[in-house]
Amino acid sequence: MPLVKIYNKMSPFQRVIIALILGILSGIFVGEPAGRLEILGNVYIRLLQMTVIPYVLVSIMGGLGRLDGAMAASIGIRAVKIILLMWLGVMLTLLLLPLAYPDWQTAGFFSSSLVTEVVRFDFVDLYIPANIFASLSNTIVPAVVLFSLLMGISLINVENKDTLLRLSSNVADALMGIASFVAKLAPLGIFAISTAAAGTLHPEDLGRLQVFLWVYLVAAALLAFIFLPLIIHWATPFSYREVLSTAGEAAITALATGTVLVVLPMIVERSKEMLANHGMECEETGSTVDVLVPTAYSFPSTGTLLGLGFILFSGWYVGSPIGIEQYPSYVIMGALTAFGSMAVAIPFMLDYFGLPADQFQLYLLGSVVTARIATGLAALHGFVVTLLVATAVMKQLKWHRMIQAMGLHLGVTAGVMVVLGLALTHWIPYEYEGVRTFESMRLMGPPATVEKIKELSPLSSRDHERSRLEVIQKRGSIRVGYFPNTLPYAFVNDQDRLVGLDMEMIHQLANDLGIKIELARIENPKAESQMLSDGSVDVTLGGRAITPTRALNVNFSDSYIHHTASFIVADHRRDEFSSIASINKMEQLNLGVGNDVYYRTIVSDLFPQAKLTTIDSARKYFKGKYEDVDALVFSAEAGSAWTLLYPDYVTVVPKGWKLRAPVGLALPKDQQNYLHFINTWLRLKEDNGTRQKIYEYWILGENPKAKKPRWSVIKDVFGWDV
C-alpha cells in the first residue's frame, strides 16, 4: 500500500518519467523477448489516435461558430495573416534542421521505397472532401480541417445555433474526458513502448536517435528565446523581457502538466494585464483575447509544428532524405496535418513521403521528452499570437518588423545548426559498417559440396546424345558458370566463398537433387552460349537480364526476379536525377550503359540528348575510372549492393521511369526437358515461400543472422533462456 500512496502523490509527468526509466531498464534486463510488449504499445497508440479527428472536427466548428459576424471580420483576417506568417517561420526553421545532421556515410540494401512513386501533391483529393465521412474514416486530416473551418465560418451567421454549439461543446468535453482517461494509461503505454524499444533496439539505433533529440532541443530553444519573443519585441510595444517573464509561468506550468488546456485561463488573464499596462485595454482587445485564446488552441502551434522535424530526421536516418523539390509539399502538408496530433500527423507524413512506418516507434521513444517541450512552446505560442492579433486590432503592429525578426531568426538558426552538426559529428561515435555487413553474408541454407573446375572440358559425343538433365544426374554434379562481381547474385564473401542470391538457389537445387556443384568462372560473356552448348557448363548465373539477343543463343528459365532500372550517381548529385524531366534538361549529359543493344536502345530513346558510354565493369565506375560519366544506368537491386561497398554513391530511381528487366538462369539450347525441370523447380520454390525468403535475405538485407541477439541481463548474466 505505501507504493500506491507514493504513486498517487506523483504528478503525471513524474509517473511517465518513472515508467520510461523502468521500461528501459526492463528492456535491458529481458532483451529481445521484451519486444512482445509492442502489442500493448500499439494499443496505447491507437487509443491516443482514437479521439483526435472527432475532437478537431467539433472544436474548430464550435470555436468559430461562437463568433459574431462583426467580430469575426475584425479579428479573422488579422489572425489568419499572423498565424500563417508564424507557421511559415516555423516550417522554414524545420527546413534548416538537416544542416545539423552529421555527414555520416550511409547506405542500405534495396528498398521498395526506391521504386514507390512519392504521392503526388493533389490539392483536390487532400483538401476537398467529397465525402466527409470517408475523410474521417481514412484519417485525411487536411480534408477534415477544411470541412471544420467552413462549417465553423458558416455557423457564424446561422440563427438558433445555440443547440448545435452546446452539442459540439458537450461532444468536445466528452472526447476530452476520453483523452483524460487515456492519459491516465500513459505510464502503462510508455512502459510497454520503452520496454519493447530498449529490448530490441541496437546501440547504433539509440545513438542516432540522439541526433534528433539534440537538434530538437536546440531548435526549441531558438524558437522559444529568439523567434517568438523577438517578433513581439520588434513588432509591438511589449518588451522581450516582459514577454518571457509573463509567459514563462504559463509555459512552465504547461510543460509540467503536459497540457496547454489547463493554462488557457492564465493566458487570457496575463494577456489582458499586459494590454492594460500599455494602455491598450478596450472592448475590441478584450474580445480578441476572449475569442482568440480558445480558438487558437484548436490550431497548430509552434510546438506542434516542431514535431514535424522528425520527418526530415527520419529521411536522413534511413538514408533516403527528403529532396529539395519535395519541400513545398512538406511545408504545406505539415502545417495542415498538424491540426490533429502528432500521433496522427507523423504516420500520415511517413506514408506520404514513402518512409518506413516503423519509424513512428522511434518517434514515440523520443516523444517522452519532446512532447513536454512542445507543450511549453504551445503555451508561449498562445501568448504571442494573442498579443500580436490584439496589437493588430489596435493598428499598432509593425508588419515589416515581424518579417525582419523572422529573417534574423532564420539566419541565426542556420548558423547554429551548422555548428551543432560539427559538434554532433565530434561527440557521437559512428562507424560505417555497410562493407562489413555485406561481405559477412553467408548462405542461408546448408551448402552443397562445391568443387572448382580446374579445366573446362566439353561433353563427349555420347553424352551429347542424352538429355542434359540425365547427364547431370549420372555425373552427380551440376557445372555452374558464374560471372564475377555480379553483386548480390554471385560474389566472394570475407571467407573466400562464392555466395549470393543465385548461388543460394543453386545450392538448394543441388541439395534437392543430391548432387554436388562444380564452379567455373566465366571471364568472357561472349563464350557463354558456346560453353552451355558444348556442355562445359550446365547453367550460367549472375543476375543475367533476359534480352532478345541473349535469348537467341541460350534458353532462359522463367524469370525469378526483376532488375529495376535506376541511376547510380555520386551522393551529392542525387537530386539532379530525381525525375526524367530534370535529367532531360541537363546539358552535355554522359550516361554509362552496358553493351547490350536492347536496353541501350531504350536508354537512348528516353534520353536522346545524352552521350552513351559503354562501361563493362561496375567496379571501375565506382573507383572513378570514368570521371566524365555523370551516372551509370544500372539495376537498382544490384546497385544498392554496390553502394554498400561504395557509400559515396547512391541509387536513384527517377520519377516517371518504370523500366524493369526480367532475370533468369541461362540454360543450353534444345534441352526442353532440362528447361521444363528447372522451371518446375522454380515454381515449387515460389509456392513454398523459399524464393521470397531468398529475396528478402539477399536483396532487402533482412538478415537475422547478421545481427547478434541483444545483450540482456537475464540471458548473458543469469544464463536464463526466455
Domain CATH code at residue 51: 1.10.3860
What integer is the mean pLDDT of 56-75? 71
Residue carrying the nine cell digits 471580420 = 73
Residue where a domain terminates, one of 392, 417, 434: 434
Asked if residue 106 belongs to a domain, the reply is: no
Q: Which residues contact 492 (CB under 8 A, 6 or more apart)?
A: 498, 499
Asked if residue 674 belongs to a domain, the reply is: yes
Tell me the per-residue pLDDT of 319-347, one tens digit each, with 9 for 90 and over.
778 878 788 888 888 887 887 667 778 88
In this structure, the answer to whether residues 165 and 260 fall within a common structural domain is yes
DSSP H or E run through 671: none
Owning domain of residue 231: 10-100+127-434
Which of 23-32, 393-402, 604-613 bottoms out in mean pLDDT, i.e. has the lowest?
23-32
pLDDT value of residue 201: 66
Q: Which residue would you say has higher pLDDT here, 373 or 509?
A: 509
pLDDT value of residue 518: 96
In this structure, the answer to whether residues 83 and 62 fall within a common structural domain is yes
Q: What CATH number corresponds to the domain at position 576?
A: 3.40.190.10
- Sheet containing strand 666-667, strands side by side: 450-452, 516-521, 477-482, 539-541, 666-667, 555-556
pLDDT at 698 over 90: yes
Task: Report in angstroms the alpha-carbon separations of 361 from 97, 137, 356.
Answer: 21, 23, 10
Domains identified in the chain, total number: 3
Set of cell numbers at residue 344? 496522427
- Count CB atoms within 10 A of the CB of residue 343: 19
Asked if residue 150 belongs to a domain, the reply is: yes
Residue where a domain terminates, one of 400, 434, 468: 434
pLDDT value of residue 692: 94
pLDDT at 144 over 80: no
pLDDT at 205 over 60: no
pLDDT value of residue 675: 95
In this structure, the answer to whether residues 238 and 278 fall within a common structural domain is yes
631-635 vs 590-593, strand pairing mode: parallel
pLDDT value of residue 143: 76
In this structure, the answer to whether residues 364 and 457 fall within a common structural domain is no
In this structure, the answer to whether residues 304 and 365 fall within a common structural domain is yes
What integer is the mean pLDDT of 191-204? 73
pLDDT value of residue 114: 67
In this structure, the answer to whether residues 194 and 94 fall within a common structural domain is yes
In this structure, the answer to whether residues 427 and 326 fall within a common structural domain is yes
* Entry pTM: 0.68
For the chain, give the percent of residues with pLDDT over 70.
Answer: 87
Asked if residue 272 belongs to a domain, the reply is: yes
Which of 6-20, 98-112, 316-330, 470-484 bottoms out in mean pLDDT, i.e. has the lowest?
6-20
pLDDT value of residue 43: 83
> Which of 583, 580, 562 has the alpha carbon at shortest distance from 656?
580
Q: Report the alpha-carbon distance of residue 6 to residue 321 in Å, rounded.
A: 46
Residue where a domain terminates, one of 383, 415, 434: 434
In this structure, the answer to whether residues 526 and 426 fall within a common structural domain is no
Asked if residue 139 belongs to a domain, the reply is: yes
For the chain, the first-to-last Cα distance in angstroms comes to 31
- Please, what is the angle between helix 186-200 and helix 38-50, to 10°? 140
Asked if residue 594 belongs to a domain, the reply is: yes
Asked if residue 174 belongs to a domain, the reply is: yes
498-499 vs 491-492, strand pairing mode: antiparallel
Q: Name the H helices within 428-563.
A: 434-439, 461-464, 468-475, 501-513, 528-534, 548-551
Q: Name the H helices within 307-449.
A: 309-317, 327-337, 342-352, 359-393, 399-427, 434-439
For the chain, give the percent of residues with pLDDT over 90.
Answer: 37
Query: 3-state DSSP call for residue 392?
Result: helix
In this structure, the answer to whether residues 524 and 596 fall within a common structural domain is no
> Which of 223, 269, 258 has the alpha carbon at shortest distance from 244?
223
Task: Report in angstroms the alpha-carbon separations of 33 from 294, 357, 705.
Answer: 46, 22, 17
pLDDT value of residue 116: 61
pLDDT value of residue 258: 61
Q: Report the alpha-carbon distance of residue 27 to residue 12 in Å, rounded.
A: 22
Q: Report the alpha-carbon distance of residue 221 to residue 361 in Å, rounded.
A: 25
In this structure, the answer to whether residues 393 and 424 fall within a common structural domain is yes
In this structure, the answer to whether residues 255 and 345 fall within a common structural domain is yes
pLDDT value of residue 123: 56
Which of 22-36, 144-158, 202-216, 686-700 bottoms out in mean pLDDT, i.e. has the lowest?
202-216
In this structure, the answer to whether residues 539 and 643 fall within a common structural domain is no
pLDDT value of residue 327: 87
Which of 102-116, 391-405, 491-505 bottoms out in mean pLDDT, i.e. has the lowest?
102-116
pLDDT at 209 over 90: no
Asked if residue 653 belongs to a domain, the reply is: yes
What integer is the mean pLDDT of 599-621? 91
pLDDT value of residue 128: 77
Sign of CA pseudo-dihedral 369, 373, 375, 378: negative
